[in-house]
Structure 1
C-alpha cells in the first residue's frame, strides 16, 4: 500500500467522490446523501467525515486544491485526490469486493445472549425487529422502483441491501414461528444447570 492508512467505507467513499471531481467537505456530504450512499456509509455526524478527510490528507492520498469563500458560506477547502490516492482507492475497492471481512454487527451479538430473556420476551423483541425489517424492505423496494431508469450498476448496493434484508426477514419469520409454536423452548433454570455441568 502506498500510505499507512487503514481502509474504511467512509475513506473509500471520499476517495471515490474525489476521483470524479474536486470537492469541499460539505459537497461530499451532500453528494453522499443525494446519491443514497448514506445507506452504506455513516455520515450522520460531519465530524467523522472531517476526521477521515484529515487522515487522508495527512497520508498524502488527497491534497488541497484551493481554499475560497463567498458571501453565503465561510471559508471552504476544496480537496482533490492524488495519484497515490487513486492507486490506494482501487486497491481498497478490490480488496473489499474480493475478501469477506469478519465483522461484528450488534444483532448476532444480541442473538448470542438471547438466553438472558424468556421465550416470550424474545418473541416480543424479535417481533418488533420483524416489523422494522418489513418497513426497511419496503423502502429499498421503493428506491429501486423510483430509480429504475438508472443504470443497474448505480443501484447494486441497494439491491444487495434488499437481498440481505429479505433473507434476514425470511429467517426471522421461521424463528418467530418456532417461538410461537413452542418449538424453541428454554428455561433459565435448565440453562443454568447446563452451564454448571460444563464449568471447568
Structure 2
C-alpha cells in the first residue's frame, strides 16, 4: 500500500511522530514546532499538513484511533500509525538517509541566471543574502545552545543545518569579496557574446 503515497519530508515526519503516540493534526503541528522540526519540514501552511494526513489515511498508512469531543475545542480526530505505515516510514527513512536525491532549490537556479545582473547589482543582493544567512546561523547556534541537554541524536538535523549554513556563508563572503575587489566581474557585452555563441 505504501507505493500509493509518495514519500515527502512532511509525510515521513507525520508518520514518525505517530510512531511515538496517537495524535490529532494540531498536536502533530505543535510537536513539529516544539521539537524544532519546522526548520527542516515546511508546516507553515496548515492546509498542507491536513492534505498530507488525508493522503496517509487514504493509503491506510494511518487510521483514526478516536474522535475527541470537548466543549472547549472543536471536534478533533486522533490518528495512529498502522503496521503498513510503520513499514513505509522505515522504508522512506532508509531511502532518504542513504540515497542523495537530485533536488532543485531556488538559490542555485537563481545563481545560474545571475548574469542578468551587473556585478554591482549582484554584489548588493548577495551581500543582503549573506547578512540573512549570518542571522540564520546565529539563530541555529542559539537553538543548539538552548537544547544542549537533549540527546545528540535528536539534534542531528540542526547540526547538519549548521554545517550547511556555515558553508554557504563562507562561500557567499568569498564571492562578495571577489565582486567587491573586481576579481569576479563581467560585462553585458561579454554575456551577449556568450549568448550569441561562436
**Matched residue SS, 2:71:** coil
**Matched residue SS, 1:67:** strand
1:52 matches 2:52: yes
Correspondence for 2:164 = 164
Give 1:2 shift.
Answer: 3.6
Alpha-carbon distance between aligned partners in 1 of 2:147 and 2:77, rounded to the nearest angstrom: 32
Contact 1:24 1:76 in 2 (8 A): yes
Correspondence for 1:175 = 175
Alpha-carbon distance between aligned partners in 1 of 2:40 and 2:177, rounded to the nearest angstrom: 31
Correspondence for 1:76 = 76
Correspondence for 2:154 = 154
* TM-score of the pair, normalised by structure 1: 0.97
Correspondence for 1:119 = 119
Alpha-carbon distance between aligned partners in 1 of 2:189 and 2:140, rounded to the nearest angstrom: 42
Correspondence for 2:142 = 142
Alpha-carbon distance between aligned partners in 2 of 1:20 and 1:143, rounded to the nearest angstrom: 23
Correspondence for 2:4 = 4
Correspondence for 1:35 = 35
Correspondence for 1:20 = 20
Runs of 4 or more above 3 Å deviation: none
Unaligned 5+ residue runs, structure 2? none
Alpha-carbon distance between aligned partners in 1 of 2:3 and 2:113, rounded to the nearest angstrom: 40
Correspondence for 1:131 = 131
The alignment yields a C-alpha RMSD, in angstroms, of: 0.9
Q: Deviations over 1:174-199 (max 9, x none)?
A: 1011101111110111110221124x
Give 1:3 shift.
Answer: 3.6
**Matched residue SS, 1:74:** strand
Tell me the matched-pair count. 198
Give 1:70 shift.
Answer: 0.2
Give 1:30 shift.
Answer: 0.5
Correspondence for 2:66 = 66
